[in-house]
Structure 1
Amino acid sequence: MPAWRAATAPGLVLSGLQECVRITDDGSGVAPALAEVLRGHGMRVDVVGADELGREPRGQGCVVLLDALSDPRHPAQDSAEVHGRLLRALTALAPRDETDAGGARSVVLVQDSGGPGPAAPPGRAWLGGAVALARTAHQEWPRITVKGIDCARGGRPAADVAGALATELLTGGGEPEVALTADGRRHHPHTEPAPPLEPVETSRTAPDPFFVVTGGARGITAPCLVELARLRRPRLLLLGRSALVPERPGQAAEKDDAALIRSLLAEDREAGAVRTFAEVRAEAGRLLAAREIRHTLTQLENAGAQVRYASVDVRDEKAVRARLEEARDLWGPVTGLVHAAGVVADKMVADKTPEQFERVFSTKVESLRVLLDATADDPLDTICLFSSISATVGNPGQSDYAMANAVLDHVAGELARERPAARVVSIAWGAWHGGMVTPPLREHFARQGVALLPVAEGARAFAAELAATSGPSRIVVVPDPGQPGQWGGASDRTGTQIQALVRAGAQRRPLLRDHAIGGRVVAPLALATEWMARAVPGRVAGAPFALHDIHVRRPITLGGPGPHWLTVEAVRQEDRAWHMCVGPVDDRAHITALAVPDRPPAAPRQDRPARPGPSAAAPRYGVPPLFHGPDFHVIEEILDRDDGGVHATVRGLRAMGWSDDGRWVTDPALFDAALQLSLLWAQGVLGPTLPMRVERCEIHRPGAAPAGPLTCSVTARSCGALSADCDALLLDTGGGVRAALTGIRLIALPG
């Protein structure tokens, strides 16, 4: 089921803010207040209407879409207008081709639907599709950083909401999705196993339940209802668009679409009728749909249900009310709703038309509003909404479908709070082995390694959810527990780029003045590693992790007073790893690394023994190779030093008095201490060197080290004519492994 995990902001700036920012006006005062805060940080900001974005020149830096924070008088009725405006704005910003970076470096979509905090105000659920749109755009646009923010306003003044959003833009980096509560907490989404359900036999459903079902006569809903009929013997009113058109004699023998089309064409020839092929194919489709509906009705009756079918557009409130009244006269009040109607019109955001959006979105959202209004006086004890995993993780081509289903997910939560005695659930289905998943789609999913949900298994899950006495209002149903993280390819798409910024320079970070070589301030490898670690997508805060193949390709020099903007970028590789790099904005690959977030380091071990020496010596800073100024005097005492390595006590960033805002992922002071000791060892065996590569950096205890004394042991690996290699082990006061640097490569300096 969808859940939230507390998260600390990485302390990185969202890409594009350094150029210019355009904010769409939400009408509630947040947009101008946010613009004022960002201008105070030196940003160029304009507040515009969403429909103005398409008329402006491309290359807009960062675009922040606040339309879903608006306060329409009737959120349910205005849901399509708000979400349609967001989709049109994204269409205007969409890249033209694979080489185009689109109309912005980054796009941010904001909504207020409660997130992990207290419930949002009534009605906000109907405006809860903006983040799902961000999830889909994140997948479709690999060269643009797309971010979704669920920001709870919680009755706060516009200035306070703007301040929370500004803090996220300035410190939250390029993380694709985050939720901000009104009390200042920050969370990331994830999925976790739902609690087990009670046995179906202990159903809390009333005797002879009367369910109104949309979209239940065809597709995947039909086997679900058959399973429900077998267990509960319900009364079912099925509402669908397809008419029960009669078949002429002989047509029933035609078993598939092609055979039926041939039969219809033959009939036309005999009758001398002239129709286009499209008209004949449409009639064949209507006949096959009616045939499927009749088959479903027969199955339901054989399973023990009483069934009525009505051909109706569920968006037509007058027609729906009339059909419900007819059924109530026969069966009494409605006790349950199953809203499973849905259509898709898969097109990328750049190609999505308003007509496609209206059809897809209204079939899900407007139909639900009509159903809820039409049953407002019925004693509903069960409400089940058929959502999609596309709303949870996004899916290329399904921006409108993802938004619509996300609205259903949020409305389910609101209904569950309003009706505590009822079972309310929104089921985000994964891909079924049937229904709208055609053979070509099945092949596509097979290539992605996505397992399909067997029909019988899905039907049993549906019946169990309706029979449960309690449970979460939102669940994801897939055959593989790990599937939500990979379905649709959000994290797996090769070439996906996520960018963030660092504002560096001696003025911005005074300690950098003490890391100057030949009079030039050079960004320390230790800090560059920290910046890359902060930007690793999917890294779990506080959990051990490793960076591989850290490589200095070119030093990052920070000349002049600054500030200097550096870009930190993550690019998805074919093997599920992320290629990380940091450097100037338009020339990023100065320092690179490789991250595999789901492959943490092995359990800490101390396989390099401590090397206590006979006597201690103070490090000689200001004498090569220790060029570092006072803020980088991180070596406390050298306990032992010979050709086999160096052993010393060292200081972490807290002991050095570096600013500690709780965002540190590594401890750069300790990392730099290990590199400095490596330089000392290499000086004795090779002469002057510079560290250019680290084969592997294992962080077993993330974050800033305690202020007490720590130790670092550098152990030789090899030494040649031009390079030397060593390892470093950093230990806490109690001897536990804090970090390990394996394969530090030092290159001899010319001359």
Structure 2
Amino acid sequence: MDQDNVRRLAAVAVAAPITQALNDTGSTKRHVLIVDDGSALTQALLPALHAAGMRVLVFQFEHLRRPLPVPVISVDWEDISSIEQGIARVRQVEGGCRGVFFLQTPGLPFGGQWLSGALARLRAAIAVARGVSLTNSEPLEFVHFVTAQGGRFGLDSQASVDALAPGLEALAHPLRMEMPKTSFRSIDLDPATSTAERAQQLLGELGEADEPFRTAYGWKGGERATLSVQETAPGKADPILDADSVVVFAGGARGIGAVCAQQLAARHHCTVILLGRTPLDAQAMELSRLNKAERQVRGDVFMREYKVSNPGCPPRAPREAWRKKLQAAETVDTLESIRALGVSAEYYAVDVRSREDVSTVFSAIKQRWGRLDVVVHVAGLGGVETDRMLVRKEWPTIDQVIETKVTGAIHVLEAAEEVGTRLFVGFGSIASRFGNSGQVDYASANGLLTGIVRAHNRRGVLPEARVIAWGAWDGVGMAVGGPTKDMLIAHGVRFITPQMGAECFLAELTGVGPAAPAELYISPSWTGLTELLARQDTVLSLGEPEPVALMGEVVERRDGEYLRSERQLDPRAIPFLDHHRYDGTAWVPAVMGMEVAVQAAACLFPGLTPFALRDVALKKAVRLVRDEPVLLIAEARFEQCSTEETLVQVTVSARYKERTWVFAEMRVVLGAGQFTHGLADSDRYHSPLPIEREPGKLIRQNRAELYPSDWLRFQISGPTFQVIEHMALNCEVGRTEGRMVSTADLSGCNTPMTFIDGVFQAYGVTLCTILQAWAGPPLYIGEIRWLPGAAQVRETTFAIRTDLQDKENFPVIHVFDPEGQCILRLQRAEQGGTSIKELTQQVRKAGTAAERDHDSIVATPYLGAVIEQTAGHFLRAEVSLDPKTEILLRDHQFHIFVVVPAVYFMEVAVEAAALLLPHTPPCELRDFRVHQMLHLLKDPQTLVTEAQVIAPDQTRIRMLSRRGVETKLHAEGIVVHGQTPALKRLPPQVLGDVQIRNTGGLYPHRFPNGPVFQVIEQMELARNFRSRSQLCLTGSPRPGCMLPVTLLDGAFQVDSATRSGFDQPSGLPKTFTSLRWMPGVTSMERVVCLSSTGDSTTDSPGELFFVDGEQILLHMTGITLTPVLPSVGTRSRT
């Protein structure tokens, strides 16, 4: 690479200490606007700003409304004009507006709904900036976009990832260029810092002057940094392509994509596939055979004819129409030039903004060629076609620029993951770091591309993803020309030649690694960049100190298959061991074995992130008698891989002289699970009732009472990594809560060893208080799951739920950071002690590997036996339907046969989805349809349930009956996974003129077979097909149901009566659009149901709510029924 012309750059955090204190002279009467994100930071900023003498206004989006002690302006998130008008209103208040804090501190989870949420938030940020630019009043002093990626801009691999944050960062520089009198910045904060301190850090930014080319600042541990770049040399990497490889260029049929594709074909002779929106027709083929002069003549004729055919058209319309035809011809040119090299090349017309179309094309490519190695995402809009000042830019243009780059990247990356692509390369732009005037949308779109790549890589699944942020190319792509180019050259700007750009691209076709960062800038020299690099300050550590080398030296390795490491343990050289002494002898703690295992797995797969341990079995303790060294051996073996996680089996052994024994065995999980599923499941296991209000005696202990303690394993040395400050324990209900503080800095470890050490202590105290036996080290742990960066949190709270009768699910231990976010979960554990035999009678023993293959915590009372399963993808289960043994079937007998009720299908659907994605709870049943009734006569039938994941948060369910070789589809629907949002409260309902019936007037006239689980005690039916019913529980299904089956049994009774009156039977459930329910609601003694339909017909969509007071327990929409009952008879009570 010509270093005098093209620079290879990587993002770095550079020290940027505060140079002057905040000076508010003359500004105290002006307002500061906070765009609220619903976090605690807003509440901390209010007193901080008031203390600095500033007045505060708050923008609140309607879905985040909450009471605040300052004036609030409500705006609609989706209504861009309301945001812009809101800014105008703020500028008109008395004293004017000094500046804006746009808060985006709760990171937006990267998953199924990320794209729509990210685009909405980015549009809101641009709308705020556009509102500022549209106002002619006094310029604002500042507009700061605030994120919370850990204070180092998401570059720290241990920090949380917010894929939206780089898009907000990219806004600041072009906005500063357009409005130089306003300080535009992005401020990245560390969520581990207290909210009060973060508020003061934001105030500190107000006193700092702007610096050229520096618009992104961050705070971590009280140290301020700025985001910059530094040159990085390419490393040596083995080529990942050969002549059999298949490479796809999405949007690469023209411009720089075409240049790179041609050079790739010439160098590697691999198959090249081009994707583009333009269809190739006969006219395109004809145009491609014309030379430049002939095309010019043809174009002149076309544009004259276009004007005649379209009188009054805009002046640009003929040129745009001709340009599209030329694009098709250029695509043919690219194809033919590649084929001329003797290389196979194909073209598919596809709009990358269509997820389904992209997936279909990728599947077709994989099926035809048997592989798809690399995908290059080139598609994007920018340059002279779209660059203009924000004040003059229209929203359709902004949306098109952002969506073409971002939506296409998401769809291409997801489709590449589905077909097992090895590498994704996104073509970005250096505008995301140093955007110019007129490039607000273009810069933010390319910033979001960086965020997408970063978040995807953190998931730890293929393909590995990289983004190359290009500088200006010469004569190709979005290149400038004429006087504009001459002006840029005069200002020191240089350009990347096509040959040099293609060479740079080929050099970067490697996996992610130290010499191949996932985020790379390739830019020609320009005066500002040269000056920035020359005055570069101290590059800061990203909070990633050298790993604690507990694993030792790798002595054998087969990439992706096997790794063996060895380490001599000397307690005098390793504090972990020296602090774990009992009666003078050092013991190897369980947490050390876990850390060594995780280090080995992470070394075997360096591109993946470890996030969990499963089936941890501590076999035989390791003691260092008389401090004589012991050799610790770790062996990591690849076990299996899915789209979300990679499993590595690790055995940690010890060798002393000639004797070797196994210390620990476990599975290390690497990949995406913690980001897809999160840890926000504590409500599932912990009662909302405060522990002091639970029945039973409450035992409180503080630090002084806990240490030293007979209950703890290390009575003499006390706590090692974590000290329990206080805890409250209720043995009767099996609950423990408390607070603990880290006492050692274990930065660099892959596992949060401090928390694990603390929860072992807390659970040991809990278990031994219940059992009155001494707690020893842990023997078995079902699963430990943590969030990256959790080890950096110093102060935490914990909650323990113990149930010795339920050994499959308990104990469950959650650890929370100061903001209330769950950062670690431990589930199913056994601890030993002096009374091992007594303890093992009461505490669950570690099962065999075969017994633990299905360690799901999901109860499935109706699903049946799983006969086929691909983890995280597909599941098939079978159950024999026998009305003689199942009340839910027996009580739905009509005449001589049993009709399998809709609620049975619904419960089975949710159970199957929950079992397939056990860590993402079902929250909605959508688009459900009963195609045909399933009748049971004399013999049982087999119900086959098929569940297939169709999106990260959606599972499609199909239920079929099988008799012999014949199968019939009976019901299907989609289960949505995630955290159920709180169902809104209902205002009191007024029905007006109603008829009233009680139980005696409803049964058996209206419902010949009577209620199963829920009886309508009283029903008020209005003339407009609305009703209000009081229902009472009469029976219960099997325990463990995930749906509120009893409520649903009553729901269909109420809907039927609402639409057809009291005395006319209507039918059985046929379809519904959506069912949502409050988590934890299974059955209630008495509830109220509100129902409405459009008319009396069975196809009129019905809607109903079950409420407890004003709180909604269940909401169902779009209900339709069959025209008639299958038959009318008397329910069998045998």
Q: TM-score range by the shorter chain?
A: 0.5 to 0.7
Q: How far does residue 312 in structure 1 lie from its aligned partner after superposition?
A: 1.7
2:131 is equivalent to residue 92 of structure 1 = yes
Determine the C-alpha separation between the residues in 2 that align with 1:417 and 1:129. 18
Partner of 1:57: 91
2:494 is equivalent to residue 451 of structure 1 = yes
2:471 is equivalent to residue 433 of structure 1 = no
Determine the C-alpha separation between the residues in 2 that align with 1:135 and 1:20. 24
For residues 180-207 of structure 1, the C-alpha deviation after alignment (integer angstroms, 9 at most, x for no partner) is 24433321222211122337xx413466
Partner of 2:52: 41
2:456 is equivalent to residue 415 of structure 1 = yes
The 1:55–1:461 alpha-carbon spacing in structure 2 relative to 1, beyond 3 Å, is same
Determine the C-alpha separation between the residues in 2 that align with 1:431 and 1:411. 23
Partner of 1:424: 465
Kindly provide the amino acid, as one letter, of the partner of residue 90 in structure 2. E
Q: Which has the higher contact order (CA 8 A, sep 6+)?
A: 1
Determine the C-alpha separation between the residues in 2 that align with 1:14 and 1:387. 39
Kindly provide the amino acid, as one letter, of the partner of residue 193 in structure 1. E
Partner of 2:148: 112
Q: How far does residue 157 in structure 1 lie from its aligned partner after superposition?
A: 5.8
Determine the C-alpha separation between the residues in 1 that align with 2:232 and 2:245. 26
Determine the C-alpha separation between the residues in 2 that align with 1:540 and 1:120. 24
For residues 705-734 of structure 1, the C-alpha deviation after alignment (integer angstroms, 9 at most, x for no partner) is xxxxxxxxxxxxxxxxxxxxxxxxxxxxxx
Out of 67, 70, 75, the position equivalent to 2:114 is 75
Larger mean Cα displacement after TM superposition, 127-136 or 116-125: 116-125
Partner of 2:775: none
Q: How far does residue 406 in structure 1 lie from its aligned partner after superposition?
A: 1.0
Matches within 5 A, 1:331-410: 331-344=369-382, 345-410=386-451
Q: How far does residue 71 in structure 1 lie from its aligned partner after superposition?
A: 4.1
Out of 173, 182, 203, the position equivalent to 2:239 is 203
The 1:409–1:310 alpha-carbon spacing in structure 2 relative to 1, beyond 3 Å, is same
Determine the C-alpha separation between the residues in 1 that align with 2:277 and 2:407. 15
For residues 389-413 of structure 1, the C-alpha deviation after alignment (integer angstroms, 9 at most, x for no partner) is 1111121100011011111123323
For residues 362-408 of structure 1, the C-alpha deviation after alignment (integer angstroms, 9 at most, x for no partner) is 11111111112222233332121111111111211000110111111
8 Å CA contact 1:427, 1:475 repeated in 2 = yes
Q: How far does residue 259 in structure 1 lie from its aligned partner after superposition?
A: 2.3
2:173 is equivalent to residue 162 of structure 1 = no
Partner of 2:292: 255
Structure 1: gaps of 5 or more residues: 492-536, 543-751
2:39 is equivalent to residue 3 of structure 1 = no
Kindly provide the amino acid, as one letter, of the partner of residue 127 in structure 2. R
Larger mean Cα displacement after TM superposition, 303-312 or 120-129: 120-129
Kindly provide the amino acid, as one letter, of the partner of residue 473 in structure 1. A
Kindly provide the amino acid, as one letter, of the partner of residue 54 in structure 1. A
What SS does the aligned partner of 1:407 have?
helix
For residues 102-142 of structure 1, the C-alpha deviation after alignment (integer angstroms, 9 at most, x for no partner) is 3x122112223453563476661134211210111111112
Determine the C-alpha separation between the residues in 1 that align with 2:290 and 2:249. 30
Kindly provide the amino acid, as one letter, of the partner of residue 442 in structure 1. K
Matches within 5 A, 1:234-633: 234-247=270-283, 252-253=289-290, 255=292, 258-264=296-302, 280-344=318-382, 345-419=386-460, 424-434=465-475, 435-440=477-482, 441-467=484-510, 470=513, 471-480=516-525, 484=529, 540=537
The 1:259–1:420 alpha-carbon spacing in structure 2 relative to 1, beyond 3 Å, is same
8 Å CA contact 2:362, 2:419 repeated in 1 = no
What SS does the aligned partner of 1:466 have?
coil
Determine the C-alpha separation between the residues in 2 that align with 1:140 and 1:34. 28
8 Å CA contact 2:27, 2:98 repeated in 1 = yes
Determine the C-alpha separation between the residues in 2 that align with 1:539 and 1:451. 21
Determine the C-alpha separation between the residues in 2 that align with 1:449 and 1:481. 5
What SS does the aligned partner of 2:347 have?
strand
Kindly provide the amino acid, as one letter, of the partner of residue 322 in structure 2. A
Kindly provide the amino acid, as one letter, of the partner of residue 430 in structure 2. I
Kindly provide the amino acid, as one letter, of the partner of residue 332 in structure 1. G
Q: How far does residue 322 in structure 1 lie from its aligned partner after superposition?
A: 1.6
Provide TM-score, normalisation by structure 2. Answer: 0.40
Matches within 5 A, 1:24-35: 24-35=35-46
The 1:282–1:134 alpha-carbon spacing in structure 2 relative to 1, beyond 3 Å, is closer
Q: How far does residue 350 in structure 1 lie from its aligned partner after superposition?
A: 1.6
Aligned residue-pair number: 485
Structure 2: gaps of 5 or more residues: 1-8, 61-74, 76-82, 540-1134
8 Å CA contact 2:247, 2:373 repeated in 1 = yes
Kindly provide the amino acid, as one letter, of the partner of residue 88 in structure 2. G
Kindly provide the amino acid, as one letter, of the partner of residue 405 in structure 1. N
What SS does the aligned partner of 2:102 have?
strand
8 Å CA contact 2:467, 2:519 repeated in 1 = yes
Q: How far does residue 70 in structure 1 lie from its aligned partner after superposition?
A: 6.0
Partner of 2:34: 23
8 Å CA contact 1:68, 1:128 repeated in 2 = no
8 Å CA contact 2:32, 2:55 repeated in 1 = yes
The 1:43–1:274 alpha-carbon spacing in structure 2 relative to 1, beyond 3 Å, is closer
The 1:250–1:461 alpha-carbon spacing in structure 2 relative to 1, beyond 3 Å, is closer
Determine the C-alpha separation between the residues in 2 that align with 1:466 and 1:158. 43
Q: How far does residue 314 in structure 1 lie from its aligned partner after superposition?
A: 0.5
Matches within 5 A, 1:176-191: 176-191=214-229
8 Å CA contact 1:7, 1:187 repeated in 2 = yes
Determine the C-alpha separation between the residues in 1 that align with 2:242 and 2:222. 43
What SS does the aligned partner of 1:425 have?
strand
The 1:261–1:422 alpha-carbon spacing in structure 2 relative to 1, beyond 3 Å, is closer
Q: Report the structure number with the largest CA radius of gyration.
A: 2
For residues 243-264 of structure 1, the C-alpha deviation after alignment (integer angstroms, 9 at most, x for no partner) is 2132289855462664233232
2:260 is equivalent to residue 224 of structure 1 = yes
8 Å CA contact 1:54, 1:92 repeated in 2 = yes
Determine the C-alpha separation between the residues in 1 that align with 2:174 and 2:158. 24
Pick the structure with more helix per residue.
1
Q: How far does residue 212 in structure 1 lie from its aligned partner after superposition?
A: 2.6
Kindly provide the amino acid, as one letter, of the partner of residue 64 in structure 1. F
Out of 251, 255, 269, the position equivalent to 1:233 is 269
Provide TM-score, normalisation by structure 1. Answer: 0.59
The 1:453–1:418 alpha-carbon spacing in structure 2 relative to 1, beyond 3 Å, is same
Q: How far does residue 305 in structure 1 lie from its aligned partner after superposition?
A: 3.5
The 1:389–1:468 alpha-carbon spacing in structure 2 relative to 1, beyond 3 Å, is same
What SS does the aligned partner of 1:315 have?
coil
Kindly provide the amino acid, as one letter, of the partner of residue 433 in structure 1. D
Q: How far does residue 179 in structure 1 lie from its aligned partner after superposition?
A: 3.3
Q: How far does residue 481 in structure 1 lie from its aligned partner after superposition?
A: 7.3
Determine the C-alpha separation between the residues in 2 that align with 1:417 and 1:205. 24
The 1:91–1:374 alpha-carbon spacing in structure 2 relative to 1, beyond 3 Å, is same
Two-structure CA RMSD over aligned residues (Å): 3.3
